[in-house]
Structure 1
Amino acid sequence: MKAQGKHIVVTGGGNGVGRELTLQLLEKGATVFVVDISEEALNETAKLSGSSKRLFTYVVDISNREEVFAFAKKVIKEHGKVDGIINNAGIIQPFIPINELELDRIDKVMDINFYGTLYMIKAFLPQLLTRPEAHIVNVSSMGGFLPVPGQSVYGASKAAVKLLSEGLSSELKGSNVKVSVVIPGGIETGIKINSSVSHNVSADSSKSNMLLSPVVAAKLVIKAMEKNRLRSYIGKDCNAMNVLYRINSFFAMNMINRIMIASEH
């Protein structure tokens, strides 16, 4: 689905990739309904857009089912239609093993990453099915197929997003609604800060050249939608580890363990 002239919802649009998605969609001629839990962050996105008349901001906690459904109802009532949703919002967990991770933190990761995505889909899918063409884009993660030490629950939430997307695509086969799941590797964003997580990783790490910038990541997410790709692995690290994991999963897991240990020093 081409962005030009479409009405598209973007979650997590107050910073990082979500902000870049919003700005790039506006440049392509879309009307964007951008969601974030932070009003201040949304205001900054609006400012960067040049106060675009095609940008509408909404403070929504996507982990709250009632808020999501109320938001969907409000958008459709006020603007008449929605052609697409990009479920980009997400958080990581503290870099600790499951045995040390508190249950409320586990709930929060699952509520935002998985249930937030699911609520958005459930809230907007009936509307999307009425459109001549429509698209759902869900952002998963390399951690959704490759276990990362200290991020097992985050990985589980993103693996759930991946399978949800693929299952939804199968269910919607033959309909006007297409589904894409984008699986990025490392991206230079403030996700650790936004997730209230600290981790001692050197900024001078030799792996830093493997990270995607938010600008490039957003471009590739939109490309997945416009090219109607079911599954898109983006980033050098993600593509390399995807191949390696398919060939020898134990070797790939040991490699990511060594990388994580090395990056802490």
Structure 2
Amino acid sequence: MKVKGKVVVVTGAGSGLGQALVLELLRRGARVAAVDLRPEGLEATRTQAGTMAQGLSLHPVDVADRLRVEALPAEVEAFHGQVDGLINNAGIIQPFKRLWELDPPAIERVMRVNFYGTLHMTLAFLPRLLARPEAHLVNVSSMGGFLPVPGQTAYGASKAAVKLLTEGLWAELQGTPVRVTLALPGAMRTGIAQHSGVEAPQAGEGAKIPLLEPDRAAKILLDAVERDAFRVLLGQDARTMDLFYRLSPLWATRLIQNRMRHLLG
């Protein structure tokens, strides 16, 4: 789906990849409904948009709140008149601890935001997307959704759920106007740890992993949307580890375990 002239909803739009997606969509001639838990983040996105902000609406929403999410499509349509696309990007990480060291509420919080937030948004907007001549759904999973990362097992499980949800939707939506793209980012320069309330080393420290800049990732992802790609890997690390994991899941898992063990002390 070409995004010019379309209305696209983006979650997690107050920082990082979400903010970069909003700005790139506006540059490409789309109108955007920006969704984020933090009003101050949304205002920062509006400031970054500058003169492009006339095509932007701001929606402070907790995507884990199903009832609040169910009211959102009508709000977006009231402002923009239509909805043609949805990018489920909002997500958080867990504290960098082994699974058995986590409190159950920490695990539940990750699942509520990453999986149920994506599910709530998808179910709320899908009827609108199906009514359009053409539409697009993007779910942002993670390299951690196909490759286990020590200290992020619950996070990885939530993103693996998003991965399979998205692939299932791709199959179920064949023959409809809605195309589906699965995004799998690797290490990226974002504030996800801070916004998750987690103290963590930078993704590249110790493990020497190159960090993908959000603006570059946004361009790659939207290029994939415009060619109706089934999946898109964001970052050289994601592409490399996708290949390694396909060749030998055990070897790839051992490699990541050895390179990331510093995160757990």
TM-score, structure 1 normalization: 0.96
Contact 1:182 / 1:224 at 8 angstroms: preserved in 2? no
| 1:128-207 paired onto structure 2 within 5 Å | 128-201=129-202, 205=206, 207=208
1: distance between equivalents of 2:183 and 2:55?
25
Aligned residues: 264
Secondary structure (helix, strand or coil) at the match of 2:96 reads coil
Cα root mean square deviation, aligned: 1.5
Contact 2:207 / 2:260 at 8 angstroms: preserved in 1? no
2: distance between equivalents of 1:78 and 1:201?
38
Q: Does 1:26 align with 2:26?
A: yes
1: distance between equivalents of 2:150 and 2:21?
29
Q: Deviations over 1:122-158 (max 9, x none)?
A: 0011011110100000000000000111111100110
Q: Which amino acid aligns with 1:227?
A: R
- The offset of 1:250, in angstroms, is 1.1
Contact 2:84 / 2:134 at 8 angstroms: preserved in 1? yes
- The offset of 1:75, in angstroms, is 1.4
Higher mean Cα deviation, 71-80 or 58-67?
71-80
Give the structure 1 partner of residue 3 of structure 2: 3
1: distance between equivalents of 2:21 and 2:56?
12
Q: Deviations over 1:195-232 (max 9, x none)?
A: 11112458654624x22101111111111211101111
- The offset of 1:77, in angstroms, is 3.3
Contact 2:183 / 2:221 at 8 angstroms: preserved in 1? yes
Runs of 4 or more off by more than 3 Å in structure 1? 200-206, 262-265
Contact 1:91 / 1:191 at 8 angstroms: preserved in 2? yes
Give the structure 1 partner of residue 127 of structure 2: 126
Q: Deviations over 1:11-52 (max 9, x none)?
A: 001000100100010000000000011111111110110151
In the alignment, structure 1 segments of 5+ residues that lack a partner are none
Q: Which amino acid aligns with 1:97?
A: R
Q: Deviations over 1:84-107 (max 9, x none)?
A: 000011000001111111111111
Task: State the identity %.
Answer: 48
1: distance between equivalents of 2:235 and 2:203?
20
Q: Which amino acid aligns with 1:105?
A: A
Give the structure 2 partner of residue 105 of structure 1: 106
Contact 1:202 / 1:264 at 8 angstroms: preserved in 2? no
Distance change >3 Å, CA 83–CA 202, structure 1 → 2: closer
Distance change >3 Å, CA 76–CA 150, structure 1 → 2: same
Give the structure 2 partner of residue 241 of structure 1: 241
Q: Which amino acid aligns with 1:37?
A: L
Q: Which amino acid aligns with 2:55?
A: R
1: distance between equivalents of 2:204 and 2:254?
22
Distance change >3 Å, CA 114–CA 206, structure 1 → 2: closer
Secondary structure (helix, strand or coil) at the match of 2:208 reads helix
Contact 1:8 / 1:84 at 8 angstroms: preserved in 2? yes
Give the structure 2 partner of residue 218 of structure 1: 218
